[in-house]
Amino acid sequence: MLIGVVILFVAIFIWFPNGRERINNINFTDYLENVFKILIAAILGGLIGLERGNKNRPAGLRTHTLVSVGACIVMITSFDIFERYHHLGNFDPARLGAQVISGIGFLGAGTIIRNGINVKGLTTAASLWVVACIGLTVGSGMYLISISAAIIVYFTLFALGNFELRHMMKNSNMKINVLTKDKSGQIGEIGNVLGRLNIKIANIEIQRYNENENDLDEEEILITFTLMVPYTVNTDFMLEEIKRLDDSIDVEVCENLIIT
C-alpha cells in the first residue's frame, strides 16, 4: 500500500503542470535533511510515548510519536514558507509553531480524567505538550537541544516518577466500603482505628442497607470512607483492624485514587 501511494504521488507530481521542472529544482540535500528531522522527531517522541504506554496511559507510543512528527513538519513548513516569501513582506516563521503549542491543548484535555478527588492524566498531558515542543525544536534543526530535552523528559517521567512515589508522596487516597450493623458509636470506633494508623478521613457517606425490610433489628448501613492513607500503612492490615471491631463488619477497598 505504501509503495502504491509513493508511485501515485510521483505520477501526479510529474504530470502536474511544471511538475518535472519542480523535480529538477528540488534540493535533495535539503530534502534528506528534512526527512532526517522527521525521523529524529519520531524517535524522540516515541521514546517518551513508550514510557507513558508502559503505564497504560491513554496517550502512548503512537500518540506521542504523531504529535512530535506533526510539530516537526509544521516547523519545517514554516521555514520553507519563510524562505520562499520573506521578500514579500513581514513573515514570522514562528507563527505556525505557536499555533501548535496552543492547539495541543485539545489532546491534553482528552487525557485528563477527573472523578471526585481523583485526577488522572496530568503528567501525560504535560508530556504531550513537551513532545510538541521537542518536535518544533527538531524542525528548527536544533538537534542537540532536542535530544538533550528528550533525555531529560524521559528521566523525569521514569526516574523522578518512582522517586516521587517513594519519597515525596506521603499519602495515597482511597475509598473503602464498610458494611455493618446500624448501632451507635460504630463510626466513631472505626474512626479510632483509622486514627491509630495515622489515616485521615476526607469524607464519609452513609447509606441504609437492609435486604430484609421487615427485620429492623438487623438493619445495616453502608459507610463509604474517603481516606488519606500513609504509604507506610499496609492496606490489608488496615482492613483487618477494622474487621476486628465486630464479626458482622464487611469491609473492602472500592477505589484507589492516585493523582498522576
- The reported pLDDT for the residue numbered 111 is 67
Q: How many CB atoms lie within 10 A of CB 213?
A: 7
- Give yes or no for residue 2 having a pLDDT over 70: no
The reported pLDDT for the residue numbered 93 is: 64
Percentage of the chain surpassing pLDDT 90? 0
Q: Pick 25 or 176 by higher pLDDT.
A: 176
Task: Tell me: pLDDT of 213 over 60.
Answer: no
134/124: higher pLDDT: 134
Interstrand relation of 220-230 and 200-209 (parallel, antiparallel or unpaired)? antiparallel
Predicted confidence at residue 208, as pLDDT, reads 77
Alpha-carbon span 143 to 44, nearest angstrom? 11
79, burial (CB in 10 Å: exposed 0-12, middle 13-18, buried 19+): middle
Residue 260: what pLDDT?
A: 45
What structural domains and CATH numbers belong to the chain? 27-168 (no CATH), 171-257 (3.30.70.260)
Give the mean pLDDT of 159-164: 67
Three-state DSSP class for residue 246: coil
Instruction: Provide mean pLDDT across the span 86-109.
Output: 70
Question: Does the reported pTM lie above 0.85?
Answer: no
d(CA 146, CA 192): 54
What pLDDT, on a 0 to 100 scale, did the predictor assign at position 259?
44
Whether the pLDDT of residue 137 is over 70: the answer is yes
**What does the pLDDT average to over 160-168?**
63
pLDDT at 98: 73
4: phi > 0 → left, psi -120 to 50 → alpha, else beta; which?
A: alpha
3-state secondary structure of 167: helix
Residue with C-alpha cell 514558507?
Answer: 81
- Contact criterion met (CB below 8 Å) for 85 and 95: no
Instruction: Indicate the DSSP class of residue 199.
Output: P
Mean pLDDT over 228-234 rounds to 80
Percent of the chain with pLDDT over 70: 65
* Residue-level pLDDT at 254: 74
Higher pLDDT, 25 or 38: 38
| pLDDT at residue 205 in the model | 85
The mean-pLDDT minimum among 42-56, 62-76, 111-125 falls in 111-125
